[in-house]
Amino acid sequence: MPYFDAASSAPLHPVARQALQAALDEGWADPARLYREGRRARLLLDAAREAAAESVGCRPDELVFTPSGTRAIHSGISGVLAGRRRVGRHLVASAVEHSSVLHAGAALRGEGGTMTEVPVDRSGAVSAEAYASALREDTALACLQSANHEVGTEQPVTQVAEACRAAGVPLLVDAAQSLGWGPVDGAWSLLVASAHKWGGPAGVGLLAVRKGVRFAPQGPADERESGRAAGFENIPAIVAAAASLRAVRTEAADEAVRLRALVDRIRTRVPELVPDVEVVGDPERRLPHLVTFSCLYVDGETVLHELDRAGFSVSSGSSCTSSTLTPSHVLRAMGVLSEGNVRVSLPPGTAGEDVDRFLEVLPGVVAGVRERLGAPASVVSSPAADSLVVDAVGKRCPIPVIELAKVIGDVPVGGTVTVLSDDEAARLDIPAWCEMRGQEYVGEEPAERGVAYVVRRVS
């Protein structure tokens, strides 16, 4: 069964498995003890730290291991905010950061601090100039991912790092998605990553803090990991994480070329095979193994279930796959279609035949879901009124967009269709539909029931 969700968690690398098994036999003792078992465990821990630091591009004494990438982010942010409290309580981050960064920002706001979210363009990238303009005298920390976890777009880390350095603001880089493909360039101050993203075991995160960064670890003092990650080190997992990171780096150059070609095939063929599809993310500045596309008129959760039944494990940022029915904050910030969103992220070793079969299966899956939902095969063109109102209150994605598409041809060019909806996804998906179909999104208006989204027919 092809597994196409490496961006969530990559399969355990063979080197990680071998190192884990060996370390289970040799690295079980307390590395803080002076007897031989403790010394042996300490040697394994130190060797893993040196290997990981070499891959990250920092000194071994600048890097600590944490229980997860999320813990690394929270520790990094809280430590710098505390260490630079006299500077201010202002945090800057892109609008498409991992949710752990945004959750840390929400906690900061709850404590009286402030946070600025730098907007992104339709490809998901920030402008280095816009990011620099968000920095203030009271900015304690800036955060920027090296590459986006949902659409694969790479961020201008080098340019943003220079702007932060000029402003005297440390930059924390979330390299969870990119570290397995290569080191992060630029004068960053802190870097975090998570081992299960590159084929290491889950439960190991990395936090690198450059010398000179004012950092005050939060929580009760602990003697482990320089006081920055409390608790007994999981040495077998750490050893496996460091070993697999070195292994995937050795393979990265060749595998990136191979997987990029497979992803290019998906990016090109999906819009040819499936009508009304938007491929999102930067077509060039992106991770080599990841592609995301959104399909009009389909329920994202149903598409994922149908692909799973066909033997393909994929992921989605669609609002229809969450219990809150709220679109992915990444897709929302980009202003792209959220309904029917499919993220394909290929693990190393993916066969071209599996990608070919995915492209064979996908059109039938999408067509079947559209048929069950009553999506229009084409737009009807028989104007009957200058304006129409579609009541889609109580109906969830993608029904409001489907109802809009069914009647847009019933008004003349210049006429309007008003869609009433109480689904938060409509705020994103109706403008995205207009962008895809060449119609004009007029805007939203208050309504007695839900929100009124007004669309003007252009063609």
pLDDT in tens, 343-381: 999 999 999 999 999 999 999 999 999 999 888 864 434
- Residue showing tokens 């982010």: 73
Q: What average pLDDT does range 263-268 have in this prediction? A: 97
Cα–Cα distance for residue pair 90/104, rounded to 1 Å = 12
Distance separating alpha carbons of residues 393 and 209, to the nearest angstrom: 50
Quick one: 353 exposed, middle or buried, by C-beta within 10 A (0-12, 13-18, 19+)?
A: exposed
> What gap in Å lies between CA 293 and CA 300, rounded to an integer?
11
First to last CA, the chain: 44
Residue 14 neighbours by CB distance under 10 Å: 12
What's the chain's Rg over C-alpha atoms? 24
- Is residue 111 packed enough to be buried (19+ CB in 10 Å), middle (13-18) or exposed (0-12)? exposed
Mean residue pLDDT across the chain? 92
- pLDDT band at residue 225 using 50, 70 and 90 as cut-offs: confident
What six digits make up the tokens of 346?
């290929």
Give percent of the chain above pLDDT 70: 96
Is pLDDT above 90 for 80? yes
For 211, list phi and psi in degrees, rounded to 5.
Answer: -60, 140
pLDDT band at 384 (very low <50, low <70, confident <90, very high): low
pLDDT band for position 401 (cuts 50, 70, 90): very high
**320 belongs to the catalytic site:** yes
Strand partners, 456: 416, 440
Work out the average pLDDT over 286-293: 97
In this prediction, residue 322 carries a pLDDT of 52
Check residue 363 and give its pLDDT: 96
Annotated catalytic residue: which of 164, 295, 320, 434? 320
Q: What is the percent of the chain where pLDDT is above 90?
A: 82
Is 325 a residue whose pLDDT tops 90? no
Over 60: is that where the pLDDT of 323 sits? no
pTM over 0.85: yes
Is 32 or 92 the better-scoring residue by pLDDT?
A: 92
pLDDT for 424 equals 87
Would you state the pLDDT for residue 230?
76
Nearest to 388 by CA among 435, 437, 446, 456: 456
pLDDT in tens, 172-220: 999 999 999 999 999 999 999 999 999 999 999 999 999 999 999 887 7
The pLDDT value recorded for residue 380 is 39
- For residue 99, count CB atoms less than 10 angstroms from its CB and return exposed for 0-12, middle for 13-18, buried for 19 or more: middle
